[in-house]
A and B are shown apart, each in its own frame.
Chain A
Amino acid sequence: MSIIQVINLVYVYSRGTPFQVNSLQNVSMTVDEGEFLVVAGPTGSGKSTLIQHLNGLLKPTAGKVVVLGVDTTNKKAAAGLWRQVGLVFQYPETQLFGETVYEDIAFGPRNTEADEEQVDRWVKRAMDQVDLDYHQFRDLSPFTLSSGQRRRVAMAGVLALQPRVLVLDEPTAGLDPVGRKRMLQQIKGLQREGICTVVLVTHNMEDAARWADRMLVLDQGKVLRQGIPRDIFSRPEELNQVGLEVPFPATLTRLLRESGYPVEQLALTIDEAEQTVKDVRVVMANRREMR
């Protein structure tokens, strides 16, 4: 069931001035409840602009964006969207300002009508979701933490609102491989447990291949392709032209297929690639035996 519908969305920055930029041109897409959707594209493709429409921060220049039944051009109704759609910007740790970790995470909840008891519950829960020990961290100043920890505090600040949809703009930017994996596992966990629908913006195709249910690929403000990862990665030239890489398992299995090996479907992860190679060898061995 789709909970977000973007219909022929057009967005233009600085309209009518010499700085006009046609950021989004006729973008149509949907987000289904409970899914993990990855929005991919090179820098300048409009991904950040698109997601800012999902919580009503930006309003369409033309076209329509309907989020959880609310048309975002309806100012009054859209004013409350931030409660349902949580948006985590890139390098969110740069937005921290609270005197303590608790105070910063509580900022969002305190902007609602919730009482202090409820706020406290939400903060505890959010910290748990990002793996920050409540008692250890709650009274620390965010500015004394490592950048990885600060990022988790920032994410908790959005999770504390218990949004139905969690939108993240490159949450793994700047992290090393171990940190990246850990964060994506946490986010995937939230989606799997039904806590929220996830829309993840990234240009890392390995992550997209591994975690996405569906993908949307943008290029220069237009939709290049939509669909399941396996379909998207079966067209490597298209992706390469646009400045995106194909994850190596897909490339590997495609090259094997092109060399004449019986590869049923492209591998998306290293596990699948391993299995594919083993299967292919079994088939090849059987064929040789039968001759």
Chain B
Amino acid sequence: MVSIRDQALIRLSELTYIYNQGETGERTGIINISGDIYRGEWLAMIGSNGSGKSTLARHLNALLIPTSGTVEVDGLDTKVAENLWEIRRLVGMVFQNPDNQLVAALVEEDVAFGPENLGLPSLEVRLRVEQALTLMNLHDLRLRAPHLLSGGQKQRMAVAGVLAMRPLCMVLDEPSAMLDPAGRKDLMTTIGRLNREAGITVVLITHFMEEAVLANRIWVLHEGALVMAGTPREIFQQGSQLAAYNLELPGPAELAERLRRSGIHLPEGILTVEELVHSICQ
């Protein structure tokens, strides 16, 4: 029988990270985090500013190396220098600022940047670029200059650029923070599609609870530690605990909680408006 442990794509073991170790301004970024990220899942990481979520994200593709403890990606230890480029191929990353991750002056040339770095033959690069562009609905825009694209389109470009490297996992660090609601919705739909249909493991760092709700599991970080882990329903039933970590509940969950407190009987685990209306109407 294949145990769940074997399906872990990324394993964190007592990961600790200290900034500026030994110098002035030394501070702890991550404290002793252990946990697994499973193949094919969508994990959301939430936490207030300074909780360490971005720092943790950068350990997943070896942009940062642990001060102590280990991070293993598909069995590869991030501390081992020879593993670096394979790890970064397996775990792609999309950043918050749409502009500051685009390198080339044409859409298709930027999407090709990753595969070119891998030294793949031209035809293979061309093939992957076409596939990624089509998957992200950018084929018509492929000869456009990036600065003419909207924020949402630029983020799709960034995702395409990562997809072209055929990663197993995609880490997105607050990818929709600089987008408008339509762009955010579009991006989340796309991520959901990639996760479900293409089986890509997704790690989403976000401060939008409406996005965290879409994930399979949520990790809550606070001041560098992993303080809560569970499904969205489990996590968002603990409103007072989240408040202690400076986090809010998604609107409908918050309202449900308030109503419960004033004596109205509602089932646990309400996350969306529809669920709330349904429960009230019972």
A and B touch in the complex (CB under 8 A): yes
Which chain A residues have a beta carbon within 8 Å of chain B's beta carbons? Answer: 42-44, 148, 173-174, 176-179, 203-206, 243-245, 247-249, 251-252, 255-256, 259, 261, 270, 273-274, 277-278, 281
Q: How far is the CA of A177 from the CA of B49 in the complex (A)?
A: 10
- The CA of A239 and the CA of B180, in the complex, are separated in Å by 14
- Nearest neighbor of B49 in chain A, beta-carbon distance: A176
Return the contact of B281 from the options A174, A247, A259 (Cβ within 8 A). A259
- Total B residues in contact with A, Cβ cutoff 8 Å: 29
A69 to B174, CA, bound (A): 44
Closest CB-CB distance, B220 to chain A, in whole Å?
Answer: 14
Contact residues of B between 218 and 254, Cβ < 8 Å to A: 246, 248, 251-252, 254
Contact partners of B49 in chain A: CB under 8 A: 148, 176, 178-179
Question: Whose C-beta in chain B lies nearest to the C-beta of A273?
Answer: B255
In the complex, are the beta carbons of A248 and B251 less than 8 A apart? yes
Asked whether, in the complex, the Cβ of B280 is within 8 Å of the Cβ of A270, the reply is no
**Interface pair B258/A274, CB less than 8 Å apart:** yes
Whether B151 is near chain A, meaning CB under 8 Å from some CB there, is yes
Q: Nearest residue in A to B258 (C-beta to C-beta)?
A: A274
Which residues of B lie under 8 Å from residue A179 when comparing CB positions?
49
* C-alpha gap A179/B247 in the complex (Å): 11
Is A252's CB under 8 angstroms from B207's CB? no
Q: Which residues of B contact A205 (CB under 8 A)?
A: 181
User: Is B2's CB within 8 Å of the partner chain A?
Assistant: no
Contact of B255 with A203 in the complex, beta carbons under 8 Å: no
In the assembled complex, the CB of A132 is this many whole angstroms from the nearest CB of chain B, namely 17
Which residues in A have their C-beta under 8 angstroms from that of B274?
255
| A42 adjacent to B264 (CB under 8 Å) | no
A249→B178 contact, CB < 8 A: no
Given contacts A251-B273, A252-B252, contact A277 B280 (CB under 8 A): yes
12 contacts between A and B (CB under 8 A): A42-B180, A43-B183, A174-B177, A176-B48, A177-B209, A248-B251, A252-B252, A252-B273, A256-B281, A270-B254, A274-B258, A278-B262
CA distance A193 to B67 in the complex (A): 51
Contacts of B251 in A (CB 8 A): 206, 247-249, 270
Do B277 and A252 have beta carbons less than 8 Å apart?
yes
- The answer, yes or no, to whether B182 is at the interface (CB within 8 Å) is yes
Query: Is A42 in contact with B273, judged by CB distance below 8 angstroms?
Result: no
A179–B49 CA distance with the chains assembled, in angstroms: 9
For A248, give its contact among B177, B207, B252, B259 (CB under 8 Å).
B252
Query: Is there an interface contact between B207 and A176, defined as CB atoms closer than 8 Å?
Result: yes
State how many angstroms separate the Cβ of B173 from the closest Cβ of chain A: 13
Chain A contacts of B273 at CB under 8 A?
248, 251-252, 255
User: Contact at B180–A243, with CB atoms within 8 Å?
Assistant: yes
- Whether a CB of chain A sits under 8 angstroms from the CB of B150 is yes
- Bound state CA distance, A243 and B184, in angstroms? 11
Most buried by B among A174, A176, A255, A278: A176
Indicate if B31 sits at the interface (CB-CB under 8 A).
Answer: no
Contacts of B209 in A (CB 8 A): 177
Most buried by A among B178, B180, B248, B252: B180
Shortest Cβ distance from residue B281 to the other chain A in the assembled complex, whole angstroms: 6
Chain B residues, CB < 8 A from A148: 49
Q: Is B84 an interface residue (CB 8 A)?
A: no
CA–CA, A251 and B275, complex, Å: 12
Residues of chain B lying within 8 A (CB to CB) of residue A247:
251
Partner of A255 from the list B183, B258, B264, B277 (CB cut-off 8 Å) is B277
A243 to chain B, nearest CB (A): 4
B106 is an interface residue with CB less than 8 A from chain A? no
6 closest pairs, A vs B, by CB? A243-B182, A176-B207, A248-B251, A255-B277, A203-B180, A43-B180
Decide: A274 and B259 in contact? CB cutoff 8 A.
Answer: yes
- How far is B209's CA from A43's CA once the two chains are assembled, in angstroms? 22
- Residue among B48, B264, B276 with the most chain A CB within 10 A? B276
**B255, A252: Cβ atoms under 8 Å?**
yes
- Contact (Cβ within 8 A) A243 B255: no
Contacts of B281 in A (CB 8 A): 256, 259, 261
Q: Give the docked Cα–Cα distance between A256 and B96 (Å).
A: 37
Q: Mark B258-282, 1 if CB is under 8 A from A, else 0.
A: 1100101000000001101100110
Partner of A178, one of B48, B181, B255: B48
* Chain A minimum-CB-distance residue to B250: A248
Instruction: Please report the C-alpha to C-alpha distance between residue A53 and residue B251 in the assembled complex, in whole angstroms.
Output: 36
Given the interface pairs A173-B178, A281-B264, the reply to whether A256 lies near B277 with Cβ below 8 Å is: yes
Q: Is the CB of A270 within 8 A of B255?
A: yes
Query: With the chains together, A87 CA to B96 CA distance in Å?
Result: 26
Taking A43-B151, A251-B273 as known contacts, 17 extra A-B pairs with beta carbons closer than 8 A to each other, sorted by chain A number, are A42-B180, A42-B182, A148-B49, A174-B178, A176-B48, A177-B207, A178-B248, A179-B49, A248-B251, A252-B252, A252-B255, A252-B277, A259-B281, A270-B251, A274-B255, A277-B280, A278-B264
